[in-house]
Chain A
C-alpha cells in the first residue's frame, strides 16, 4: 500500500442495520462534504450560543445529527443542510434550556450565513491547508510534536521513536494519540479564527 500507513476504514465494512446508504459511501461523503465545514459551523454556533465552552460539544452533536440523517439518505447539497441542522439544534437547545435570549435568536435570523458560495481557487486552498497543517504541527506541545514529526515525516517505527525520545513504547503511543487529537483540533481552530464564515478565505 505505498508508504501510506493505515487502512481505509471508511470502506471496509458494511452497515449492519440495513440502512440505505452504505457505510463507505456515507463516510466518504461525510469526510468530503461535512468535515471541512467544521470551522464555519463552529463560528455559526459561537454566534448563536453564549456559553463558548459548549460549542465544541454542540458542533460534535451537529456532526452526529448530520451523520445519522445521512445514513438514511445523503442530502444534496450538503452545506445548506449542515447549517439547517446546526440552526435547528441551536433553536432546540435554546428552548430546552429555557433561555429566552432574544439576542441569540435575532442574531441567528440575521446571521445570513451564505450556504452555497463557490469555493475559492483550489491551489490557494491547498497552499493554505499546508500552512494550516504546519501551523497546527508547530502549535503542538513539544513531546507530541516530536512524536508526530518522527512518525509522520521521518516514518520511524514505535521502538525507534521510543529509543530517540528515551521513553517507553507505551508512552510513544500516548504521545502520538494525543498529538493526533490535538493536530485535528488545532487544524480546525486555526481556520475558525478568520473573519469569514467559509473557513476557506484567509
Chain B
C-alpha cells in the first residue's frame, strides 16, 4: 500500500475515480487509448482496482433491475441537499414499497443474449436464483419468466446451476436436443456436429427434439456424460475427480491427467487467440498431466519443450510444437 501508514487510503476518492472510469466506459465510446489509460490507473494501485471492481459489480448486477421494465417511482420526496442524510427513512419507506411490488416485476419478460469472447468467462444470475456460467467463446440466449424458463446454447459451453421448480422446469435447447432439468447442476458444451451434456448433481434428461435425429429420451444421473453426434446418443460415466477436472475452467484452469498433447492443445485453443499447432504424430500422442491457467499457452509450450525436448517455433499468432 502507498501513502502514510497511519491514514488509510481514502475509499471515497478511489471510488469516485472508479465510477468516473466506469461511466466513461458505459456509453461505448471506449478506445484502445482509453483502455490503456484505464489499465495504467488500475495497475497504479490495488486500491484503484479494488474500488473499480466494487462499483462495477453492483452496476452489472443492476442489470437485473431491467426486470422492472418501467420502474416504480418512489414516494415523492424532496431532493435531499445531502445525498445520504435522509437515507434511513427513505430506505425504510421504499423497502416496504419494494416488498409489496416485488411479485409483479420479479421476472423479466425479455429474452436476452449473453456472449463471451475467446478467453473470457462470465456468470449470469437470473431472477429465480438460477446461475449460468459461460465459458470461453460462448453464446447463450435465455428467457426466465413465470410462464417458462428456457435457454438456448447457440455455441460454446455453459455450467448451469438451476433452482429447481417442478412446476416450471428449466429447459436448455442445444441444436437438435433439449435438456430438461429435474433439480440440477449440469454442463452443456456445443461444438460443430457434437453436443456434450455432463450431469454434475441432481437429475436431468436429454432428448432429441427434431425429426430424424438419432437417440431417445435419456435420464441422467450424476457423473453421466451424454455425447450426441451423428452416431446418436452415447452415455459414459466419469469419476468425481475427473468431473472436477472437467469443471476446472470455472476457476480459470485446465487440468490434464494423461491427456495427449494434441488434446491439451485443442483445449488451450478454445481459450486463446494465440494458437498451439501440433502436426507431428510423435508430438501429438505424447501424454501430459498438470494444471495450467486457461491463458497459459506459453507456459504449456515451455513445458513441452523442457519435459520432452520438443522445439517451439513462434509463427505470428501460432506456436508450433515440433519434434
Cβ of B19 and Cβ of A57 under 8 Å apart?
Answer: no
The smallest C-beta distance from A138 to any residue of chain B, in angstroms, reads 4
Bound state CA distance, A24 and B272, in angstroms? 14
A52 within 8 A of B: no
B60 within 8 A of A: yes
B219 within 8 A of A: no
Cβ of B129 and Cβ of A63 under 8 Å apart?
Answer: no
Cβ of A2 and Cβ of B59 under 8 Å apart?
Answer: no
Classify chain B: how many residues form its interface, as a range: 35 or more
The smallest C-beta distance from B171 to any residue of chain A, in angstroms, reads 18
Cβ of B26 and Cβ of A134 under 8 Å apart?
Answer: no
Number of A-B contacts (CB under 8 A): 231
Cβ of B98 and Cβ of A131 under 8 Å apart?
Answer: yes
Q: Which DSSP category, helix, strand, loop or mixed, fits chain B's interface?
A: helix
Q: Which residue of A lies closest to B79 (CB)?
A: A142
Classify chain A: how many residues form its interface, as a range: 35 or more
Q: Which DSSP category, helix, strand, loop or mixed, fits chain A's interface?
A: helix
Bound state CA distance, A123 and B38, in angstroms? 36
Cβ of B23 and Cβ of A176 under 8 Å apart?
Answer: yes
CB-CB under 8 A for A60 and B47, given A31-B57, A153-B66, A181-B15: yes
Which of B87-95, B191-199, B226-234, B304-312 forms contacts with chain A? Answer: B87-95
Cβ of B35 and Cβ of A139 under 8 Å apart?
Answer: no
Enumerate 23 A-B pairs (CB-CB under 8 Å) in ascending A order: A3-B113, A6-B22, A9-B38, A15-B43, A16-B43, A28-B252, A38-B54, A59-B11, A63-B50, A68-B1, A127-B106, A131-B102, A133-B61, A133-B64, A134-B98, A136-B58, A138-B90, A138-B98, A141-B83, A152-B59, A176-B23, A182-B83, A184-B59
Which residues from chain A sit less than 8 Å from chain B, CB to CB?
Answer: 1-16, 22, 24-25, 27-28, 30-32, 35, 38, 54, 56-61, 63-65, 67-68, 71, 96-97, 121-127, 129-131, 133-145, 148-149, 151-153, 157-158, 173, 176-178, 180-190, 193
Which residues from chain B sit less than 8 Å from chain A, CB to CB?
Answer: 1, 5-6, 8-12, 14-16, 18-20, 22-28, 30, 35, 38-39, 42-43, 45-47, 49-72, 74, 77, 79-80, 83-84, 87, 90-91, 94-95, 97-99, 102, 106, 112-117, 119-123, 125-129, 131, 163, 251-252, 293, 295
